[in-house]
A and B are shown apart, each in its own frame.
Chain A
Amino acid sequence: MSDFEPVLLARIDRPESHRRSDYEATGGYATLRRALQSMTPEEVRDEVRESNLRGRGGAGFPTGLKWTFLPADHDGPIYFCLNADESEPGTFNNRILMEHDPHQVLEGLILSCFATRSTTAYFYMRYEYPRAWKRINDAVAECYEAGYLGQDILGSGYSLDVVTHRGAAAYICGEETGLIESLEGKRAWPRIKPPFPAVQGAFGMPTVVNNVETVACVKHIVERGADWFKSIGVPADPNDPRDAGSYGPKLYCVSGHVENPCCIEAPLGLTVAELIEDHAGGVWKGRRAKAAIPGGISMGLLTASEFDCPLDFKGPGRYGCLGLGTAAVVVLDETVSMVDFLHNSCRFFAHESCGQCTPCREGTAWSLRLLERIRAGRGRLQDLELLLQIGDSIGIMPGTTICGLADGAAWPIKNAVRKFRSEFEDYIRRTNPDGYDVTDPVPALDWQATTPVP
């Protein structure tokens, strides 16, 4: 393991790391000052473009490229939405950044807004982070005091307002157009695309939505340059013109059945095995691993024999997972029942499905009902086929849903049932000896609700 000098987490152990005075003492806001004084917005944007920074929120879309979708000569407001709705199970790196180094986030935000000529930034934070809410609001106030926000920032002529906006415990608000709908005061039903937010987003205006960790990276890219950023991580495949590479440092969360659950920083490309062994103290209690989630529960499962999977934008896909996601690894040891795991996953997605489009609304509820019947000892082998069909048919990838929540719901089903098929079959046979081979529909369980409220 090579020693990587943290960049994003460089300051989090300092006792006053969240204060502006401490941030400035370690060189904070110097980059902002320099950029506002000597660069144009397009130059900042191009530096980010050049760096091939890919969004850290889960989709991995190249940030600089996304910024170029904004209209060049828009006469009116441009809105920047900072997505701090971090709700992907297993993920907590945005929280760490916001609680311990809020000014890094804000400097990155202001630079990103400058690069995109945004006029107002809405900092949309999930409700469940009260400490981060306090820290960020305090930091924003400090920025206004220091003239880093407001009218004519540092005499540059650029003006920006940041409005903090609190969510209300709905996972789908992390989807970019779900966030926009929620910001606008409506239920967070994601929008159909086109039009894309860059053209018609919040309040009908061009809008950029970026993740907290992404804008933190922007700060460092502007500070040290695109070449520096590209010296870290996994280079693009020269034979594939569509490969944007996996550049830069990444915050990895690791939790579940490990000795030391934590958030660490490493170049993109760290493998699951390395993360668990070198950074999280190995599997806990001397046990062996059975499986791991590679990037938040939406990404699915790797078996223990697949822990050599590199955690970059291409690795998990090669092992049958949905992608890198939020790079939040959750480890399951040998005692975990995959039936219980899948039930937990299906319950989550059924609870969080926004309900707008038919395949997701019904498919997530149906898969939960199937798991509940299986766990109640009334499962059939037939149910595994149904689960796989549901999993294979819902999502934006087949094109059957409006947003990717359905893909996230589908992947744990597909991976769990396919990679642990015999365990599911054994469970069903064992718990329902008289009915496991029934192929006709069976009576539903007693209650109508898919999941008890709340």
Chain B
Amino acid sequence: MSDTEVMASGPADETAGDGDRCLTPAMRQEIEQLCRKYPRKQAVTLPALHLVHEKLRHVPRRAVVEIAELLELSPAEVQDTLSFYGFFKQDAPHGDCRVWVCRSISCALRGGEDVFQYFCRRAQVEPGQTTADGSLTIEVAECLGACEQAPCMLAGNELIGDLTEAAIDRFLKQREADS
């Protein structure tokens, strides 16, 4: 029988303590401009999260507070939305390249699960985690909508289909060559 755990939500401690802003002036300006495209500021939540996530590879809690201020929301409201989508990283940035390997039915039927296991083994990283050198994050995704190329994965902005172990080897080799 497991014990009850006490989990406290205490004061934020992830800021460096020097009160530095997380959002750059350029980001803030972009968010303010986006506000003009929607009748309500709250609608800019998702675009603002994407904006920050794209630049910082995660959305630190400090950024959530700042986005909330800009959009006249409480931080909880922004976090509510952020956490609904498994997409946004929060505690640490994702790797230089974020790879999503599809695990839905069309890819699974054509060996997607095995390719994924192979990939994690070769890259020496646990599913969902980032490699030690911070270069690669490997995650699962649900149907990427490229079933004609199953099994497939999305590496950053590039869709790579017809995956095989050889294709994975090529991919890793190419990254090594590029770096």
| CB proximity to B under 8 Å, residues A95-137 | 95, 126-131
Contact with A along B10-34 (1 / 0, CB 8 A): 0000000000000000000000000
Question: Is B147 in contact with A352, judged by CB distance below 8 angstroms?
Answer: no
The yes or no answer to A191 lying at the interface (CB within 8 A) is no
Question: Is B84 in contact with A454, judged by CB distance below 8 angstroms?
Answer: no
The yes or no answer to A166 lying at the interface (CB within 8 A) is yes
Question: Is B40 in contact with A185, judged by CB distance below 8 angstroms?
Answer: yes
Q: Knowing A131-B159, A341-B105 touch, does A454 contact B39 (C-beta < 8 A)?
A: no
Interface size class of B (residues with CB under 8 A): 35 or more
How close is B156's CB to chain A, nearest CB, in angstroms? 8
How close is B73's CB to chain A, nearest CB, in angstroms? 8
Which one of A85-93, A368-376, A377-385 contacts B? A85-93
- B45 CB contacts on chain A under 8 angstroms: 185-186
Question: Is A187 in contact with B81, judged by CB distance below 8 angstroms?
Answer: yes
Q: Pick from B40, B81, B88, B142: contact of A351, CB below 8 A.
A: B142
Q: Closest A residue to B147 by CB, please name it.
A: A255
Question: Is A130 in contact with B85, judged by CB distance below 8 angstroms?
Answer: no
Question: Is A185 in contact with B145, judged by CB distance below 8 angstroms?
Answer: no
The yes or no answer to B44 lying at the interface (CB within 8 A) is yes
Q: Pick from A293, A354, A452: contact of B105, CB below 8 A.
A: A293
- B90 CB contacts on chain A under 8 angstroms: none
A92 and B142 alpha carbons, distance in the complex (Å): 13
Question: Is A166 in contact with B106, judged by CB distance below 8 angstroms?
Answer: no
| CB proximity to A under 8 Å, residues B131-165 | 139-150, 154, 157-159
How close is B163's CB to chain A, nearest CB, in angstroms? 13
Q: Closest B residue to A260 by CB, please name it.
A: B148
- B86 CB contacts on chain A under 8 angstroms: 169-170, 453-454
The yes or no answer to A163 lying at the interface (CB within 8 A) is yes
Question: Is B159 in contact with A165, judged by CB distance below 8 angstroms?
Answer: no
A184 and B47 alpha carbons, distance in the complex (Å): 11
A94 and B145 alpha carbons, distance in the complex (Å): 9
- B145 CB contacts on chain A under 8 angstroms: 86-87, 91-92, 94-95, 126, 128-129
Question: Is B157 in contact with A344, judged by CB distance below 8 angstroms?
Answer: no
A204 and B61 alpha carbons, distance in the complex (Å): 30
Question: Is B85 in contact with A170, judged by CB distance below 8 angstroms?
Answer: yes
Contact with B along A74-89 (1 / 0, CB 8 A): 0001000000001111
The yes or no answer to B119 lying at the interface (CB within 8 A) is no
A: number of interface residues (CB 8 Å): 59
Question: Is A168 in contact with B105, judged by CB distance below 8 angstroms?
Answer: no
Which one of A54-62, A328-336, A397-405 contacts B? A328-336
- A131 CB contacts on chain B under 8 angstroms: 157, 159
Question: Is B88 in contact with A168, judged by CB distance below 8 angstroms?
Answer: yes
Q: Pick from A77, A90, A127: contact of B147, CB below 8 A.
A: A90
- A354 CB contacts on chain B under 8 angstroms: 84
Which of A91, A129, A184, A205 has most chain B Cβ within 10 Å? Answer: A184
Question: Is A185 in contact with B44, judged by CB distance below 8 angstroms?
Answer: yes
Q: Pick from B39, B77, B109, B149: contact of A256, CB below 8 A.
A: B109
A15 and B159 alpha carbons, distance in the complex (Å): 19
The yes or no answer to A203 lying at the interface (CB within 8 A) is yes
- A222 CB contacts on chain B under 8 angstroms: none
A88 and B147 alpha carbons, distance in the complex (Å): 11
Question: Is B148 in contact with A185, judged by CB distance below 8 angstroms?
Answer: no
A291 and B146 alpha carbons, distance in the complex (Å): 21
Question: Is A454 in contact with B139, judged by CB distance below 8 angstroms?
Answer: yes
How close is B21's CB to chain A, nearest CB, in angstroms? 22
Q: Closest A residue to B104 by CB, please name it.
A: A89
Q: Closest A residue to B108 by CB, please name it.
A: A344
Question: Is A163 in contact with B106, judged by CB distance below 8 angstroms?
Answer: no
The yes or no answer to B46 lying at the interface (CB within 8 A) is yes
Question: Is A453 in contact with B128, judged by CB distance below 8 angstroms?
Answer: yes
The yes or no answer to A262 lying at the interface (CB within 8 A) is yes
Q: Knowing A127-B87, A168-B87, A341-B105 touch, does A91 contact B143 (C-beta < 8 A)?
A: yes
Q: Closest B residue to A448 by CB, please name it.
A: B2
Can you list 29 A-B pairs, Cβ within 8 angstroms, ordered by A? A87-B142, A89-B142, A90-B105, A90-B106, A92-B146, A131-B159, A166-B46, A168-B87, A169-B85, A171-B142, A184-B43, A185-B45, A203-B39, A203-B40, A253-B148, A255-B148, A256-B147, A261-B147, A263-B148, A328-B147, A344-B104, A344-B105, A344-B108, A347-B103, A348-B143, A352-B142, A452-B127, A454-B127, A454-B128
Question: Which chain A residues have a beta carbon within 8 Å of chain B's beta carbons?
Answer: 77, 86-92, 94-95, 126-131, 161, 163, 165-171, 182-188, 203, 205, 253, 255-257, 261-263, 293, 297, 328, 330, 332, 336, 340-341, 344-345, 347-348, 351-352, 354, 452-454
Question: Which chain B residues have a beta carbon within 8 Å of chain A's beta carbons?
Answer: 37-40, 42-47, 49-50, 71, 77, 80-81, 84-88, 100, 103-106, 108-110, 127-128, 139-150, 154, 157-159
